[in-house]
Amino acid sequence: MTATHERTPVEMGMPVRLVTLSVDGQEVSVPEGSTLLDACTAVGEDIPTLCYGDTLTPKNACRVCMVEVEGSRVLVPSCSRKVTENVVVRTDTERVRHSRRLVLELLGSSVDLSTTPHVEEWMAEYAADPGRFGPPAPEDLHRDVHEPGEHHAGDGSVAETMEQPDKVDNDLYVRDYSKCILCYKCVDACGTQWQNTFAIQVAGRGFESQISTEFNVELPESACVYCGNCIEVCPTGALSFKSEYDMRAEGTWNEDEQTQTTTLCTFCGVGCNLTLHVQDNTIVKVSSPHDHSVGHGNLCIKGRFGFQHVQNR
Amino acid sequence: MILALDDTVDLTRILLRIAGFFRDESCGQCVPCRVGTVRQEEALLRIAHNGRSPGSNAGDILLLRDVGQVMKDASICGLGQAAWNAVESAIDRLGALEETR
Amino acid sequence: MDLKFTDATAHEDERDAVDRLIGEAHSGWYGGERDATDHRMSYGGHQARSERHLVLEALHAVNDRVGWISPGALNYIGRRLSVPPADVYSVATFYALFSTAPRPKRIVHVCTDVACEALGAKGVCDTLQARLGPPGAASGWKHSPCLGVCERAPAAMAVEAGDPVVEHVIAPTTADDVVQALEVGPATLAAEASPTMAVPQAGDEGLILLRRVGRVDPESIDDYIAHDGYQALDRALEMGPQAVVQEVIASGLMGRGGAAFPTGRKWEATAGQPAQPHYLVCNADESEPGTFKDRAILEGDPFSLIEAMTIAAYATGAVRGYIYLRGEYPRSYRLLHNALHAARKRGYLGADILGTGWSFDLEIRRGAGAYICGEETAIFNSIEGYRGEPRTKPPFPVEVGLFGKPTVVNNVETLVNVLPIMELGGAAYAQIGTEQSTGPKLFCISGNLVRPGVYEVPFGSTLGEMIELAGGVPEGRTLQAILLGGAAGSFVRGDELDIH
């Protein structure tokens, strides 16, 4: 693997102008077209992100990466806003911290974030208390019935959530939308940004929105081709390999004991890279490196799920 | 737009209707508005059910202010940014919901 | 496009509803019968994929005909327009006037919004709940946000799906009216009150924006012309596009949609964009609770909007305009539709307008029950056949708007102000109102008042003066509070009447 890498030509591209801005009082110059998030990262600021995906067009839906920009009436999503000359950005003001805390509280009170990386640290850092809105409402069995503009208002004694039954309708992957923050990344990966399969979209409106196939048909009836590129970009674990889902249910899933090996997919000649996640000498899931020039983290059903033969010992 | 309300109108019901309206009409794209409008309505429902004994709603009014602020600061569009205006003005200008500060 | 659909097929009337909108399907690639040649040759390509913008219209067609959108109908729409079924479903489930679950042909939307709430909607709903059961598809009646007939609150809108669909606004409504609409049909209800009822000042001297309401026949272009109609367009065509923009800048006209952006500057910025084509969108998705001024104009003087849009298009170089009308305004739709047809026939719209060599045309797009579509970028998504979700700004519409092209979005009230600017001249217009806020302004005044309605007042009047204009609260009552600006606005106390 390393040998091919060394022979890859370096892409020069067009010369890019640098834009200078200020982040928390530090002056920084970044290439034109960079985002505020890029600039913040360049000066070492660690901005939390959820709906941001390194291989996708920013949707700026989650609003956890908001920063303050001088002259702007409202806070600004750093993941999508492009840098402009001399703009003054602040990432740690009272207003920014309040916004981050509340977004984390709103998400934490409505979505199961137990498998979302970094959330625990952020909750602590911003002193978020998702429990303040009251005890969670019981599981909703009708989230896939859509009546936009209608909702049942209770008495406020419980906090509404995304809690709903898991969707286990095929042998390859599971959709646990109780963990869904509606970041749109799976929809974009399935749609025009990568796969062009269009199996899923956001259905319904407002808090009653759901990622869904048409009329909520099961995946085998839908346009899904099981490329698993939605799993690759899901930031919360709402989409997961059936193998991971089953192991978590059994209590045997243990990331500390897993190794990751990146290798070349052998099914065809395209040259996609696979990262095999192995626990107890068994492949438990497959991902793909996002920075690889062939697939950018995308695979097809064979690369993503066609690993059983390796384990036929 | 000017809506005149006389003394026969129950202001709490009007506030609940406005909160319900924003919850129904939020497109659901961004978190502050999608979840914030729900939490705003829930807090108003609690206050409506609690009655108005002095001080009993202080926690919920603080919560409304917090949620209102994040909707105003961090929503994508004007709907979320304005979803707390009416409730805020009812608390601050009308003294509705019996805040004890 | 090679799309995958479930096996559900459309019924005859569902197919017919869609075909009447977009024509017969010529091949399997367009959702028609697949024949032998279809397997060897593909048709459509980009052209087929460019039909996406008709999704909302096609959903309306089916919903109007059968009352709901079945899996088969949804598939047919997807096949005909080359749109994935999951996408059609995502659009159908975004809008409150559509149903993706079976429901009866007759549905009544009962307004429970602020103005109706203040005037007895709760009583109507309590009675309906006792007689028909809880609101929902099964019982045939549903709660609705503001229907925009606040001068006659409480209101309801009855719909009977069919060919043609019957839509009937009942205002003021009683529980008996709703039950009659459901049991016997909305067509049996008494005719809707005259649009002039929304304008208590109708016929008064000195009105500018509302001067024709109640005096002109809203169905007749001849009557419109007899009441000084199309003089503003004549004047604009004499001046030339740049001069029109300069005149609007000089008038100081600011957008009446809430953001109060200078209209002339918006036009100038769009006119100067090199990207082509340019579009013009009229935001007639008036959904702010308690607001019904657009309806007063659309129903009382519909040609004035069409004339104003023609001028706006001329000034900004737009080749096509869209009126995005809220789905809850059936009478406005009918009158606008008639007006467009008449204007086209007389050469005021279409190719080579009035022999100038300049061409422009307009179409109406109906919303389907989504307040958010009044947001200036959500409106683009809705017209383009997507969910009405707002886009991220920047880029702004003047650069990247409808179909990704430079677009002017103005609401109805802003646009009709262009007529007096053309007639009086920008400088004379600027004398009306105050220095910062020029021109006449329409106020929707409703709630517990003697004469609720749309009032035309110059900027600068106090709240107390306007409450007075509407007759004040009924005898023996006191003013408790006033909501300004709708659900997104703010309350003031009943004694804060000196506010401007």
Q: Would you list the DSSP string of C397-461? A: TTTS-GGGS-EEEEEHHHHHTHHHHHHH-HHHHHTSB-SSSBSEEEEEEEES-SS-EEEEEETT-
The phi and psi torsions of C231 (rounded to 5 degrees) equal -75, -35
Do residue B75 and residue A74 have CB atoms under 8 angstroms apart?
yes
- Residues (pLDDT < 70) of chain C are 1
- Cβ atoms of residues A119 and A171 within 8 Å: no
Q: Is the peptide bond before C395 cis (omega within 30 degrees of 0)?
A: yes
- Cβ atoms of residues C24 and C93 within 8 Å: no
- Cβ atoms of residues A215 and C74 within 8 Å: yes
Task: Give the pLDDT of residue B22.
Answer: 98
The phi and psi torsions of A204 (rounded to 5 degrees) equal 80, -175
Nearest-CB residue to C290 (from B3, B83, B93): B3
- In angstroms, rounded to a whole number, what is the distance separating the alpha carbons of residues C398 and C417? 20
Angle, CA B75 vertex, CA B72 and CA B78 arms, to 5°: 75
Residue bearing tokens 């004398």: C431
- The number of C-beta contacts closer than 8 angstroms across B and C is 153
Confidence band of B65 (pLDDT split at 50, 70, 90) = very high
Mutant choice from C91, C114, C469 vs B, greatest count of B C-beta within 10 A: C114
Count CB neighbours of A73 within 10 A. Answer: 8
The closest of B44, C55, B62, C61 to A155, measured between CA atoms, is B44
Q: Enumerate the residues of chain C whose CB falls inside 8 A of the CB of residue B94.
A: 481, 491, 493
Do residue C483 and residue B8 have CB atoms under 8 angstroms apart?
no
The closest of C500, C96, C418, C390 to C245, measured between CA atoms, is C418
- In angstroms, rounded to a whole number, what is the distance separating the alpha carbons of residues C182 and C175? 11
- In angstroms, rounded to a whole number, what is the distance separating the alpha carbons of residues C459 and C436? 9
Sign of torsion, CA B39 B41 B42 B47?
A: positive
The closest of B51, B74, B4, A289 to C472, measured between CA atoms, is B4
Q: Using CA atoms in the order C269, C270, C271, C273, what is the torsion angle rounded to 10 degrees?
A: 90
- In angstroms, rounded to a whole number, what is the distance separating the alpha carbons of residues C288 and C286? 6
| CB within 8 Å of chain B, chain C residues 271-290 | 288-290
- In angstroms, rounded to a whole number, what is the distance separating the alpha carbons of residues C401 and C396? 7
Q: Enumerate the residues of chain C whose CB falls inside 8 A of the CB of residue B88.
A: 490
Q: C238 burial class (0-12, 13-18, 19+ CB within 10 angstroms)? A: exposed
The packing angle between helices C55-66 and C71-81, to 10°, is: 150
Pairing of strands A66-69, A88-90: antiparallel
Helix locations, C184-292, DSSP H: 221-226, 231-239, 241-251, 263-271
Which are the contacts of B62, defined by CB distance < 8 A and separation ≥ 6? none
Helix (H, G, I), strand (E, B) or coil at A235: coil
Which are the contacts of C366, defined by CB distance < 8 A and separation ≥ 6? C56, C57, C60, C325, C326, C327, C333
Nearest-CB residue to A217 (from C6, C84, C370): C6
- In angstroms, rounded to a whole number, what is the distance separating the alpha carbons of residues C186 and A132? 48
| CATH number attached to the domain at C221-430 | 3.40.50.11540
Q: Enumerate the residues of chain C whose CB falls inside 8 A of the CB of residue A206.
A: none
- Cβ atoms of residues B90 and B96 within 8 Å: yes
Which contiguous run of DSSP H or E holds residue A285?
A: strand A282-287
- Cβ atoms of residues A284 and A278 within 8 Å: yes
List, in order of start, the domains of chain A with CATH numbers: 17-138 (3.10.20.740), 173-311 (2.20.25.90)
- Cβ atoms of residues C454 and C443 within 8 Å: yes
- In angstroms, rounded to a whole number, what is the distance separating the alpha carbons of residues A109 and A107? 5
Q: C246 burial class (0-12, 13-18, 19+ CB within 10 angstroms)? A: middle
Task: Give the pLDDT of residue A248.
Answer: 98
CA of B91: which chain C residue's CA is closest? C491
pLDDT tens-place string over residues C184-234: 999 999 999 999 999 999 999 999 999 999 999 999 999 999 999 999 999
CA of A221: which chain C residue's CA is closest? C6
**ipTM confidence score:** 0.95
Q: Enumerate the residues of chain A whose CB falls inside 8 A of the CB of residue C99.
A: 147
C499: left (phi over 0), alpha (psi -120 to 50) or beta: beta
Q: Which DSSP letter does residue A136 get?
A: B
Confidence band of B62 (pLDDT split at 50, 70, 90) = very high
- In angstroms, rounded to a whole number, what is the distance separating the alpha carbons of residues C308 and C433? 21
Residue bearing tokens 């309350």: C491
A118: left (phi over 0), alpha (psi -120 to 50) or beta: left
- In angstroms, rounded to a whole number, what is the distance separating the alpha carbons of residues A212 and A203? 6
Q: Which DSSP letter does residue A138 get?
A: P
For residue B100, pLDDT over 90 is answered with no
Q: Enumerate the residues of chain A whose CB falls inside 8 A of the CB of residue C75.
A: 214
Interface residues on A facing B, Cβ-Cβ cutoff 8 A: 60-64, 66, 74-75, 95, 98-99, 102-103, 106-107, 109-110, 132-134, 148-151, 153-157, 159-160, 181-182, 202, 204-209
- In angstroms, rounded to a whole number, what is the distance separating the alpha carbons of residues C357 and C342? 20
Task: Give the pLDDT of residue C248.
Answer: 98
Residue bearing tokens 């508005």: B33
Which contiguous run of DSSP H or E holds residue A277?
A: strand A273-279
Buried b / exposed e over A137-163, threshold 16 CB at 10 Å, is eeebeebbebbbbbbebeebeebbbbb
pLDDT tens-place string over residues C234-265: 999 999 999 999 999 999 999 998 888 999 99
Calculate the alpha carbon distances from C287 to A178, B25, C92, C116, C294 in Å.
Answer: 33, 10, 19, 14, 10
Per-residue pLDDT of chain A (313 residues; tens, 9 = 90+): 444 455 666 667 778 899 999 999 999 999 999 999 999 999 999 999 999 999 999 999 999 999 999 999 999 999 999 999 999 999 999 999 999 999 999 999 999 999 999 999 999 999 999 999 999 999 999 999 999 999 998 999 999 999 999 999 999 999 999 999 999 999 999 999 999 999 999 999 999 999 999 999 999 999 999 999 999 999 999 999 999 999 999 999 999 999 999 999 999 999 999 999 999 999 999 999 999 999 999 999 999 999 999 888 7
Mutant choice from A182, A188, A201, A212 vs C, greatest count of C C-beta within 10 A: A201
- The number of C-beta contacts closer than 8 angstroms across A and C is 78
- Cβ atoms of residues A190 and A261 within 8 Å: no
- In angstroms, rounded to a whole number, what is the distance separating the alpha carbons of residues C142 and C108? 6
Do residue B14 and residue C372 have CB atoms under 8 angstroms apart?
no
- In chain C the first and final C-alpha atoms are separated, in Å, by 57
| Topology classification of domain C106-189 | Glutaredoxin (3.40.30)
The phi and psi torsions of B64 (rounded to 5 degrees) equal -60, -40
Calculate the alpha carbon distances from C482 to B14, C294, C443 in Å.
Answer: 11, 22, 14
Do residue C444 and residue B1 have CB atoms under 8 angstroms apart?
yes
Could you tell me how far CA A144 lies from the centroid of its own chain?
Answer: 22
- In chain A the first and final C-alpha atoms are separated, in Å, by 25
The closest of A204, A46, A180, A21 to A115, measured between CA atoms, is A180
Do residue A102 and residue B70 have CB atoms under 8 angstroms apart?
yes
Beta bridge partners of C454: C444
- Cβ atoms of residues A231 and A239 within 8 Å: yes
- In angstroms, rounded to a whole number, what is the distance separating the alpha carbons of residues C301 and A192? 44
